[in-house]
Amino acid sequence: MKAAVLESLENIVVKEVPTPEVGPDEALVKVHACAVCGSDVRIYHHGNNRVIPPAILGHESSGEIIKVGAGVTSFQVGDRVALGSDVPCGECDFCKAGHGNNCVINYAMGYQFPGSFAEYVLLNRTVLNFGPVHLIPEHMSYDEGALAEPLACVLNATELAGIKLGDTVVVMGAGPIGCMIIPVALMSGAAKVIVINRSPGRLAFAKQVGADVTICSSEEDQVARVLEETGGLGADVVFTANPTPSAHADALLMAKNRGRVNLFGGLPAGSKVELETNLIHYKELIVSGAHGSVPRHHRLAIELISSGKLDIQSFISHRFSLDEVNEAFRIAESKEGLRVIVKP
Ligand SMILES: [Zn+2]
Ligand SMILES: [Zn+2]
């Protein structure tokens, strides 16, 4: 089969590799769509301790099951499926408790398991038994199915932040994932969603998908503006959805007393941030993190998309063939668009 192989850092080569053999407890998917995630771009430049080249990246995908092993009963040939990223091992304390994104091994598609920037992707026994593999209905496109993965991560974060009816929600960062928080926050009951971004270009898209207020942080003082928009009290919920360390400090300043802060966007490895922790203490803030998702979030993401409650189509800006995967990575990194999809 043809696959985009990360041979070494900053070197992806599209080439012929052996098509995976399908064991009795495994299945093979013909990939129809795989989106480029910010983490794929990070791995391309800096590597990851769970990715050992030569490796096939790609963890936001969908396709059709074309082969199943004799022992597989949960899926059949012809099933249209969306595939998520984090794969619970099914055996550690965290996985058994339903927190597979905190698994001690933290298996993921496109990491330890070969990903979907390829014609075919193998669903091994662990993936089939415990992983985020879910049917998508006929009327839902494969492109939409691929974006169930990033949406699942958003659902994990919004769940942890506990948005309530009437809340004012701040999203720091208007990248595709930050912008996915907007419709979910509105659906969860937010009365006002404020989105902050350094470059003004992406704020127009934030508005398009439901932001009530946008703040361009390179032109305005973001903390002062949030306080102004909230009667001086601050926001009920603040999400950081950018890789900027100072956003974490500012999030505490923007949050209302008893507010919730979710540190959703990861920072460059080893980052240290100086925080005024007395803000957490005196304001009784609840600060949480969010990393990846578990299969139930992925299933819910598919339901929100397939029911038409959430228009994920508008988050797709570019489509490329597998041969053009390097160009797809370049566009994804350039922030010229939103989600970039590779169609093997
Ligand atoms: Zn991703
Ligand atoms: Zn586990």
> Which ligand is the nearest neighbour of the Cα of 36?
1
pLDDT at 8 exceeding the cut of 90: yes
Distance (Å, whole) CA 146 – CA 337: 17
Q: Which ligand is nearest to the CA of 107?
A: 2
Q: Which ligand is nearest to the CA of 90?
A: 2
pLDDT tens digits for range 31-45? 999 999 999 999 999
Q: What is the dihedral of CA 252, 264, 171, 179, to 10 degrees?
A: 170
Distance CA 60, CA 245 (A): 26
**Upstream peptide bond of 54 is cis (omega within 30 degrees of 0):** yes
> How far is ligand 2, taken at its centre, from the CA of residue 107, in Å?
8
pLDDT score of 72: 98
Whether pLDDT at 335 is above 90 = no
Q: What is the CATH number of domain 2-146+311-343?
A: 3.90.180.10
Instruction: Tell me how far the alpha carbon of residue 132 lies from the centroid of ligand 2, in angstroms.
Output: 14
Query: How many A from CA of 201 to the centre of ligand 1?
Result: 22
The pLDDT of residue 337 is 86
**Is 332 within 8 Å of 38 (Cβ atoms)?**
yes
Centroid of ligand 1 to alpha carbon of 233 (angstroms): 34
Predicted TM-score (pTM) of the model is 0.97
Domain boundaries, the chain: 2-146+311-343, 153-289
Q: Which ligand lies nearest to the CA atom of residue 180 in the structure?
A: 1
C-alpha neighbours within 13 Å on the C-beta side of residue 223: 11
pLDDT at position 48 over 90:
yes
The average pLDDT across 247-272 equals 96
**Hey, what long-range contacts does 12-21 have (CB within 8 A, 24 or more apart)?**
12/44, 12/57, 12/117, 12/325, 12/326, 12/329, 14/322, 14/323, 14/325, 17/56, 17/118, 19/119, 19/120, 20/114, 20/120, 20/121, 20/122
- In the structure, ligand 2 is a single-atom ion and the residues with CB under 5 Å from it are 89, 92, 95, 103
Residue 302's alpha-carbon distances to 27, 40, 121, 174, 194, in angstroms, are 21, 22, 20, 22, 26
Rounded to the nearest integer, the mean pLDDT of the chain is 97
Question: Which ligand minimizes its atom distance to the CA of 175?
Answer: 1
In the reported structure, the alpha carbon of residue 58 is separated from the centroid of ligand 1 by a whole-number distance in angstroms of 8
- Give the ligand whose atoms come closest to the C-alpha of residue 148: 1
Architecture of domain 153-289: 3-Layer(aba) Sandwich (3.40)
What tokens were used for 300?
Answer: 């819910």
For the CA of 39, the nearest ligand = 1
Mind listing the pLDDT tens digit for each residue in 143-196? 999 999 999 999 999 999 999 999 999 999 999 999 999 999 999 999 999 999
